[in-house]
Chain A
Amino acid sequence: MADEGSSAELGRYAEPAVLVLASLSDGPRHGYAIMADVEAFSGLRMGPGTLYAVLARLEQAGLVVPLPAEERRRPYRLTAAGSAALAERLEEMARFVRVGRARLRQPDRGRA
């Protein structure tokens, strides 16, 4: 439920939002660490403008919370709602992967 509401609001930032949520899922990280981590595990380069557009939305939706800053580097922590949203989104993607693979295996489709 929370996921539906927030992903509708995220709009074109839905994809980078998943990446940020995934990056925060194994512990709090600050802005630059998120970018570095995302690039390491997905190979996608996320710009700083995108990152903060996403963080502002996630914070608004209550999916992440800011922690006290350490020397102007502020870490963000995933909330319970954030974990749920991430899990749900990953489940959607898994379903998508299953359907896609199944269709690719059908001999008369996709080849021609």
Chain B
Amino acid sequence: MSRPPLLHRLLVACYPRRWRERYADELVQVLGDRGSGWRDLPNLAGGVLDAWLNRRLWPATNQASLAMAVPGPAAVSSAPTIAATVPAASAYGVVATAPPAGEMSRRRFLRRMLAVGTGLVLLEFGVGTLSFLWPQIREGLGAKFRVGTIDSVLAAEPRFANGFPFAYGPARVFLVNVPAAKELAMGNQVSMPNPAAADLLALWRKCPHLGCLVPAPCESVTRYQCRCHQSTYNILGEKMFKGPAERGLDRFAVTIELDGMIVIDTAQYTQGAPNRGPEHLAFTDPYPWDATCGTE
């Protein structure tokens, strides 16, 4: 004889009004007798949907008196809702044009549509706002890139052993074999085909000035020189004497896995060192300024 749980009663209240007037009392009673469990909820919701979709099942209004006449305390959960909706139409003095019970008045329809519209707008704003919380990874920045083994790098760029940077497109980086690169910049011909992870440098090819793609180093002076505004970087990506950029090229973390796979993690990066004058560079090549570098 217990009352069914709140959620069940709320669902019963979702049935169409004319349907409720006829069946709600007994349905609530059934739910109470059954000591209804949670697994009845989907079934009940299905019933609600079915009742709304099959208008012809709604009892005619004269039958409703059958349920209304049932004596009993106001324990029926849906009773207040009925009481609230029945006098609504006549309260405005439109008794003559009041729609038949169960039909929706124009005013009520408009009001409901307004509520639905407002709800949709709020939902849209809510979802739009929440979607900002999702990370937006563009152009692969933030991802981990599996470049390949040293051998595959050498196959793609044989001069990598001599110190020439390997341009890795997907992550937009130059992979630099540091000891060999220093020798190359000094004009020495060496071959170091087995760099350790600590010897590798992944330079982001995005110029820290305004974001242009930094081209491959020019052969003559082995420097990177941005085509946009001639910001010039040495072979290790340090900002040299010319150009508007205020720091060196940014670097990503590089690791070599046990199987030899070189991995560039673009979520971990270090900003290039700020300009502090030529005496602070870790490496200086012996060439003078070359205006033609990067323009050929």
Q: Which residues of A are in contact with B by a Cβ distance under 8 Å?
A: 30-32, 35, 47-53, 55-57, 59-60, 66, 69, 71-74
Secondary structure at the B interface, as helix, strand, loop or mixed, is helix
Give A14 to B42 CA distance when docked, in angstroms.
Answer: 20
**Contact mask for chain B residues 63-86; partner A; CB cutoff 8 A; 1 contact, 0 none:** 000100010100000000000000
Which B19-78 residues have C-beta < 8 A from chain A? 19, 23, 25-31, 33-34, 36, 40, 42-48, 50-51, 56-57, 59, 66, 70, 72
> Given A31-B29, A32-B34, A48-B30: A56 and B23 within 8 A (CB)?
yes
**Number of chain B residues close to chain A: CB under 8 A:** 28
Give A72 to B144 CA distance when docked, in angstroms.
Answer: 67
Give A71 to B26 CA distance when docked, in angstroms.
Answer: 9
Give A30 to B26 CA distance when docked, in angstroms.
Answer: 9
CB distance from A77 to the nearest CB of B (A): 14
Q: In the complex the two chains form, is B43's CB within 8 Å of A49's CB? A: yes
Cross-chain contact of B46 among A35, A49, A56 (Cβ < 8 A): A49
CB distance from B111 to the nearest CB of A (A): 28
Q: In the complex the two chains form, is A73's CB within 8 Å of B40's CB? A: no
CB distance from A80 to the nearest CB of B (A): 21
Q: In the complex the two chains form, is B31's CB within 8 Å of A48's CB? A: yes
Q: In the complex the two chains form, is B27's CB within 8 Å of A31's CB? A: yes
CB distance from B222 to the nearest CB of A (A): 77
Q: Which residues of B are in contact with A by a Cβ distance under 8 Å?
A: 19, 23, 25-31, 33-34, 36, 40, 42-48, 50-51, 56-57, 59, 66, 70, 72
Q: In the complex the two chains form, is B26's CB within 8 Å of A72's CB? A: yes
Give A56 to B78 CA distance when docked, in angstroms.
Answer: 19
Q: In the complex the two chains form, is B25's CB within 8 Å of A69's CB? A: yes
Q: Please name all residues of chain B whose beta carbon is closer than 8 Å to the beta carbon of A74 when the two chains form the complex.
A: 25-26
Q: Please name all residues of chain B whose beta carbon is closer than 8 Å to the beta carbon of A56 when the two chains form the complex.
A: 19, 23, 51, 57, 59
Q: In the complex the two chains form, is A52's CB within 8 Å of B46's CB? A: no
Q: Tell me the nearest residue of chain A to B46, going by C-beta.
A: A49
Q: Tell me the nearest residue of chain B to A69, going by C-beta.
A: B70
Q: In the complex the two chains form, is A60's CB within 8 Å of B56's CB? A: yes
Q: Please name all residues of chain B whose beta carbon is closer than 8 Å to the beta carbon of A59 when the two chains form the complex.
A: 59
Q: In the complex the two chains form, is B25's CB within 8 Å of A72's CB? A: yes
Q: In the complex the two chains form, is B26's CB within 8 Å of A48's CB? A: no
Q: In the complex the two chains form, is B29's CB within 8 Å of A73's CB? A: yes
Give A47 to B39 CA distance when docked, in angstroms.
Answer: 9
Give A51 to B29 CA distance when docked, in angstroms.
Answer: 13
Q: In the complex the two chains form, is A50's CB within 8 Å of B47's CB? A: yes
Q: In the complex the two chains form, is A49's CB within 8 Å of B48's CB? A: yes
Q: In the complex the two chains form, is A48's CB within 8 Å of B36's CB? A: yes
